[in-house]
Amino acid sequence: MVMDITFSSAPSSGADAPEAPAFAPAQLREAAHRVRETAFIVREPSGGRIGVSFDARHLDAASGYEHLATLPPMYPEWLGDRAFCETHGLRFPYVGGAMANGITSPEMVIRLARAGMLGFLGTAGLSLERMADYIDRTAAALNPHNLPFGANLIHSPQEPALEMATVELFLSRGVRRVSASAFMRLTPAVVRYAVRGLFRDAHGRVQRSNFLFAKISRPEVAEPFLKPAPQKLLDQLVAEQKITAEEAQLARDLPVASDITVESDSGGHTDRRPLGPLFSVIARLRDDLQRQFGFATPVRLGAAGGLGTPQAVAAAFGLGAAFVLTGSINQASIEANQSPAVKKMLASARFADVTMCPAGDMFEMGVEVQVLKRGNFFAARARRLFEVYSTYPSIEAIEPEVREKLEREIFQQPMEAVWQKTRDFFQTRDPQEIERAERDPRHRLALVCRWYLGLSSRWAIEGVEGRQLDYQVWMGPAQGAFNDWARGSFLEPLEARHVDQMALNLMEGAARQTRASQLRAFGAAIPPDAFDHRPLPLA
């Protein structure tokens, strides 16, 4: 399938006269953007300049030009791995990433799906009831048209029961694609999802019912997902009747993940790795394990993190990415479940307006997330809370002047009142946390600190008045780069940032980038501005 849009080309000099080849910089720039046409690389006899023609008559020796090469049409749909699109029923190798606490909304996922792309619901951080609502609303819109979607499973080391309950919900609702994020090891829940429903087709090949996308940023984390599930975990799941003995047997012939998202410098959980070296290392690891195990279908690698411009997207495909995944930039889209106040902050953010701070879900482990630092004090206050947790053994041990400042500036209430709210929350969520906190004063301090970290993102999403300086806004440098690229175009205003228009322009620009690089590789003097695709409304 191809995009149903056309671009004007230079008119011919007459009904029978061929369009002259492009040699001048302005002509070559236009030629580089005519990606949907067959391009002929030619050399003029005098001077030896290399140019581009779109008229096959220039291939005739009588035309006076030497034919050097032919480039077939290039479509954005073809930039990635065709097997990825065919497997998941997509038109474009483009994925909208899951942004937690419901930021990636059903509306966003539905709009991406209708444009031939894949979206993952931001189910991490939601209650099971809200997860079910998100899934049901999305399925009602997409299932009748056989359009794919997915949901997010985030690693919950403090709450393994919640992790398994989330998988139970996904399986019961028929969610066939899951993005597993922030996992540092395989868990029973993630393996159960991947293995459940395995079967042999009529040709005896093992096929998946569920597709697991593992989002990783380290080779040691990627490796378990690139191998078959450990026998010990499979045996445990069979004993608990979470999978069948047949599914456990079939799991030996497949890697845990069907797809891997190689995540570089992104918003939220990130190791801030540069994409080039990281992708190369993971690709080599994938290839080594593929040779070792001989899987019928190799794991496909996608790229994420920092993808806010056509140049970045084209570079990702140039590395060999089967698909690209965007996150930060979609948070400012019309369809994102994010408050208008935060969207304005995001739309004015610059490339360097990001910083790292403690993550609420992995607070005690010292894991960090990348957030917007411009316009709020959240990052500084989150770091202060981690410093307090690292320094004091309990709430009671905090010096009065330090505690008073925390209660006034961060909690805006006594810490004991915060503990009571936290206790009420875990009374229904996980009573074991209360028991542990009452035995371990330091754990009680951690839960109180996590109260602020957990609510700060919700304050941002809901636009809570009086808490603007405490908004936790996950963001990577891609947002600032996107804003710079969109400046002066129709995509600059927030009211124009539909998630599919942003995606189509990134893919269109990446195709133009790739074609310009091809023409340059054949010796055409492609001007620098040929690599600049300005956003335009696309159908």
pLDDT tens, position by position, 249-278: 999 999 999 999 999 988 887 888 999 999
pLDDT tens digits along 300-341? 999 999 999 999 999 999 999 999 999 999 999 999 999 999
Q: Is the dihedral of CA 8, 14, 19, 23 positive or negative?
A: negative
Output the pTM of the full model: 0.93
- The whole-number pLDDT of residue 310 equals 97
Return d(Cα 21, Cα 127) in angstroms, integer. Answer: 61
Amino acid 227 reads K
pLDDT tens digits along 342-376? 999 999 999 999 999 999 888 988 889 999 999 89
E strands, 196-314, are: 199-200, 206-207, 211-216, 259-263, 268-269, 300-304
- The whole-number pLDDT of residue 267 equals 84
Q: Is the dihedral of CA 29, 32, 37, 43 positive or negative?
A: positive
Q: Does the pLDDT of residue 13 top 60, yes or no?
A: no
Angle, CA of 334, 337 and 343, to the nearest 5°: 60
Catalogue all structural domains in the chain, each as residue range(s) with its CATH number: 78-342 (3.20.20.70), 354-474 (no CATH)
Q: Does the pLDDT of residue 4 top 60, yes or no?
A: no
Mean pLDDT of 463-488: 96
Structure tokens at 126: 């939601």
- The whole-number pLDDT of residue 539 equals 81
Q: Which residues pair with 69 in a beta bridge?
A: 41
Nearby residues of 418 by Cβ (< 8 Å), 6 or more positions away: 411, 448, 451, 452
Confidence class for position 396, pLDDT limits 50, 70, 90: very high
In which order are the strands placed within the sheet that holds 66-71?
Answer: 50-53, 39-43, 66-71
Structure tokens at 406: 């925390």
